[in-house]
Amino acid sequence: MENDYTPLANYLVNAPKYYDFSTGVPQAAQAFYQQFKQSYLDKINERHQIAVSGLGTLMAEVKKINAKRDSLMYGDHLSKSKVKKSMGEELFQLLQNYPVPPNNENQYIKEITNTNQAAEELKAQSQEKVRQVIQSYQSAYNKETERVNQVIMQQLMDNKDELAVLMFVDIYKRDQFPDLHQQVAHALYAKYPEHPLVVERYKVETSPKNSTNIGSMAPDLAFPDPDGKIIKLSDLRGKVVLLDFWAAWCRPCRMENPNVVKAYHQYKDKGFDVYSVSLDRDKNAWLKAIQDDGLVWPSHVSDLKHWSSEAAAIYGVRSIPATFLIGKDGRIVAKNLRGDALVNALKQLLGE
């Protein structure tokens, strides 16, 4: 691999310079890094060869098209000329190739016009041909890029508890691949709970800012219902769930509750449910609000700690009402939907 091939390739080759794995790293991690690096660079080189081949085909097509157009426009004399002529000389030569019989000027003009029209048609055809070749090349390149990424992503996921994976995971931006970053952080922390790089990565991935981004797996919650029974958010996995932070004393929350009730009744039979987290301190006020507002779904929880609610801290909630719409796969798909916006989102996820 050339040293100046791509910044990405250079990063992979020089990755050990940026990470200190001198402590607590088994030999297997170093071996995995070397194997994975070579596998990645081989795939990058393979994609490069496909690109070069496709570009060569494109250039050959363009040359053939240009030669054909020039032959039609100027005749074979132009291609045989060894000295580049001025535009005036080329036009003069073109006129000489079309001798005008006496009293036949109209036919001459007609032939010149037809030749120009044919050249313009060929020009349009050549542009379309070039466009098709470029489109075909780009499509093949994109497919190969996707294939390579899928193979590499699978390798990373299959070895997510290997310390050397830290050298590669940042190739993929966390806002585009949040699940990869979260799984790697949790797997490594379980295996290397004291390694400084792992601890730092784990703190980043488990912070409310990152753990509740759209596309991230929703952090699980497990809190008591009014009867003291622990209800987990993950118990609702497989449904579309509205995680709703509210309180009996919160006027905006109480005003929004009718919209949530309406959405629940409209979509509960299609796989929609609500997991309500109360930031109340007074249990009786909480239970009365549930009754008064007709919040008939079963998943109501609270630790009755007001703004010290542990659930609110996990999700970084600093004001209420606050909602997180969670897909069937457990990923956050939207935040703070109100009224018709919630119904429209459910319509897209669950149908009419």
pLDDT per residue as tens digits for the range 107-139: 555 665 666 666 676 667 767 776 776 777 677
Identify the band that residue 246 occupies on the pLDDT scale cut at 50, 70 and 90.
very high
| Residue 276 burial (CB count, 10 A) | 23
Q: Which helix (H) or strand (E) holds 326?
A: strand 322-326
Distance CA 248, CA 251 (A): 8
Instruction: Kindly state the percentage of the chain with pLDDT values over 90.
Output: 34
> What is the DSSP pairing of strand 322-326 with strand 332-335?
antiparallel
3-state per-residue secondary structure call for 10-79: HHHHHHHHCCCCCCCCCHHHHHHHHHHHHHHHHHHHHHHHHHHHHHHHHHHHHHHHHHHHHHHHHCHHHH
User: Domains in the chain, ordered, with CATH?
Assistant: 1-206 (no CATH), 222-350 (3.40.30.10)
* Residue 283, pLDDT above cutoff 90: yes
pLDDT single digits (tens) 149-163: 788 778 888 888 888
pLDDT value of residue 3:
43
User: Which tokens belong to 228?
Assistant: 């003291």
Q: Read off the tokens for 196.
A: 């400084």
What are the structure tokens assigned to 108, written together?
A: 């001459």
What mean pLDDT comes out for the span 168-188?
Answer: 79
Residue 340: strand, helix, or coil:
helix
The whole-number pLDDT of residue 75 equals 54
The pLDDT-based confidence of 207 (bands split at 50, 70, 90) is confident
Whether the CB-CB separation of 312 and 324 falls below 8 Å is answered with no
Stated pTM of the model: 0.51
- In this prediction, residue 84 has a pLDDT band, given cuts at 50, 70 and 90, of low
Of the ranges 89-93, 200-204, 277-281, 286-290, which one carries the lowest mean pLDDT score?
Answer: 89-93
Mean pLDDT of 175-202: 84
Residue % of the chain over a pLDDT of 70: 62
Band (243; pLDDT cuts 50, 70, 90):
very high
Which DSSP letter does residue 306 get?
G
Predicted confidence band of residue 2 (pLDDT cuts 50, 70, 90): very low
Distances from the Cα of 74 to the Cαs of 159, 252, 347, in angstroms? 64, 78, 63
Strand order in the sheet with 299-301: 299-301, 272-278, 240-246, 322-326, 332-335
| pLDDT score, position 90 | 55
Residue 327 · residue 238 · CB < 8 Å: no
Q: What's the pLDDT at 169? A: 80
